Amino acid sequence: MVSARGVLRTEGFLYALDNGAWTAHQQDEDFDVAAFEKALGKLGADADFIVVPDIVAGGMKSLDFSMSWLDRLMTLGGPRLLVAVQDGMTPGHLAGVVSDRVGIFLGGSTEWKLSTLTSWGKFARKKDIYFHVGRVNTSRRIAHCSAWADSFDGSGPSRFYKELSRLDTARRQISWPM
């Protein structure tokens, strides 16, 4: 996962492009449009998916913000787009938005994310859409994602190298639904 608010390099690896909203949220800043547009121009075309701009834990305000970006991003062609679902959203809010090219990124507060992961996973399966879960940094969360998600990410191993072995072992032990 390459963040629009981070160093824009891929080292030749496959990658997804995150919009940088989480970093802005952590630093109590507004969404950095310029950083996202720069990242989009540099890395967007070759990303596995792009996370549509959102507002962390912003509920319907976040969905409105994402929808203001979605049409523009759809016209660019290229990779799959993921709408970040946030606290208070329900699958019904996304029913008319998702498609083979528009999937779901489960964001939001930790408590909300963990309590709704299964319902979002069931919705994604029913609609046959891509489902990604962000901030997965424990063995338990990896196991939970394996039952429902197509992919997940977590920065724990890159920030705390001692976590890499434990989390990679958990990842290797799962049986993906696909």
Q: Is residue 27 part of a domain?
A: yes
- The domain in which residue 18 lies consists of 2-172
Which pLDDT value is given to residue 148?
Answer: 85
Which pLDDT value is given to residue 136?
Answer: 72
Mean pLDDT of 97-117: 94
Number of Cβ within 10 Å of residue 62's Cβ equals 25
- 144 forms bridges with which residues in the sheet? none
- What's the chain's length in residues? 178
pTM of the predicted structure, to 2 decimals: 0.85
Residue 170 above 60 pLDDT? no
State the CATH number of the domain containing residue 112. Answer: 3.20.20
Please give the tally of structural domains in the chain.
Answer: 1
The 10s digit of each residue's pLDDT in 38-89 is 999 999 999 999 999 999 989 999 999 999 999 999 988 778 999 999 999 9
Q: Is residue 38 part of a domain?
A: yes
Residue 137: exposure state from Cβ atoms within 10 A (0-12, 13-18, ≥19): middle
Residue 77: which residues within 8 A CB-CB, separation 6 or more? none
**Position 87, amino acid:** D
Contact 15, 21 (CB under 8 A): no
